Structure 1
Amino acid sequence: MYELQVENMSCGHCVNAVTKAVQAIDARATVNVDLAQRKVRVQSAAALEKISGAIVEAGYPVTGSSTV
């Protein structure tokens, strides 16, 4: 599982955009977004770099990440 610090998320649209971006990389990924903490937890077989890159491409800066 990965935990990423993601900026500029503020609403349900942001949650959907981030979730779709991750699931475009891994359709089986589980994505949990905490808007208040600006954290995204992802359970995926894909590499952290690919997940992070997809979120950045969707327009949301990733300012930190770790494997949990």
Structure 2
Amino acid sequence: MITLKIEGMACSGCVSAVAKALSAADPTSTAEIDLERGIAEIQSVRPQKELMQAIEAAGYDVTPA
């Protein structure tokens, strides 16, 4: 499991945008995204760096949690 801290999520639309970015990076991934805490817990075969780059490309700041 990969846990990432995501800065800049303000609404359910933001959660959807992050989920879409993760799905584009790894269509087989699953993610639980907690808007209130700004945390995403992700199951993926892709490296953490790749997932972070996908989230950043969607317009959010991301760091390992």
> What range describes the TM-score normalised by the shorter chain of this pair?
over 0.9
User: For residues 5 and 25 of structure 1, what CA distance do their matches in structure 2 show?
Assistant: 17
* Secondary structure in structure 1 of the residue aligned to 2:40: strand
* Matched letter for residue 23 of structure 1: S
Find the counterpart in structure 1 of residue 9 from structure 2: 9
Gaps of 5+ in 2: none
Unaligned stretches of 5+ in structure 1? none
Q: TM-score, normalised by structure 2?
A: 0.94
Partner of 2:64: 65
Distance 2:25 2:49 in 1: 11
Aligned residues: 65
Say what the alpha-carbon RMSD is for the aligned residues: 0.9
Note the 1:1-68 alignment, pairs <5 A: 1-62=1-62, 64-65=63-64
Identity of aligned residues (%): 37
Tell me the TM-score normalised to structure 1 length. 0.90
